[in-house]
Amino acid sequence: MPMITVFTYKNLPPILEICKTLNNKSFGEAWFAVKQSKYNKNEVFIQYYYYEDVEESLKRSFSEEDLYEIVSFLKENGRNRVLKRTYCFINVLTKTFEVYRGPDDRTKEIVSLIGSLLKVKFVPLRLSPEELQNIYSKHSIELKQVMFKNVDGLIYDILRGDFLEKNKRFNEYLKTFPECLRVISFRPKIKFLNSNNRYQVTINGDKGTIRFSQGLFSWRPRYEIRQIVFMIAATVSLF
């Protein structure tokens, strides 16, 4: 499922200066393409281009058997690498930096490069159990899944169901282990670009990630993602 890793910051230069500093900056065979968003005046749209080994790029999408055949064919025809692109957004209103991938080494690389160029420290977003509760209480149509951490010696305890907010067991857990709630999955109460509003959003309070169930699309429109990031930023008082 598509995932976004969210970071926070305290101070950044004006948007035009950010674009001027980052745009066309290259690092070996990787580079940035940066501009102000044409859909939101408070956002900087960043594209990070880099090359990746063809096998590494495809192994997440194919079985081991299929992967071997595809990679062998590509390498026989001189295709050893593929050009990849990662989207990022800086929002100067919410003071968030979003990387459109999970918290892996590539994400760390992007954050490090941009932080160095802009002379700013990006900090992974963290949400407390109380903040997670506020999000699903105020911005959810339905709570679908939760994860409690370190309950009765268990590393993780996951509860699933329809309208968990009304579930007796869940509310008993919440009352007994209020500090252990770390992940929530819910149907968001936002404005949608189309009628497909049954997908789930999963927020991990430890990792600062937002995961989207795929539904009909691999990625949700920026219009919808922006609303979810805004509700999180407002909840943790970033602005």
* Amino acid found at 68: Y
The b-or-e profile of 65-79 (16+ CB within 10 A means b, else e) is eebeeebeebeeeee
| Each residue's pLDDT tens digit, 162-211 | 999 999 999 999 999 999 999 999 999 999 887 656 789 999 999 999 99
Quote the pTM value. Answer: 0.88
Closest C-alpha among 81, 99, 27, 96 to residue 238: 96
Which tokens in the block code for residue 98? 């979003």
Domains of the chain, residue spans: 3-124, 129-235
Helices (H), 36-152: 54-58, 64-76, 105-118, 129-139
| Each residue's pLDDT tens digit, 214-233 | 655 567 889 999 999 999 99
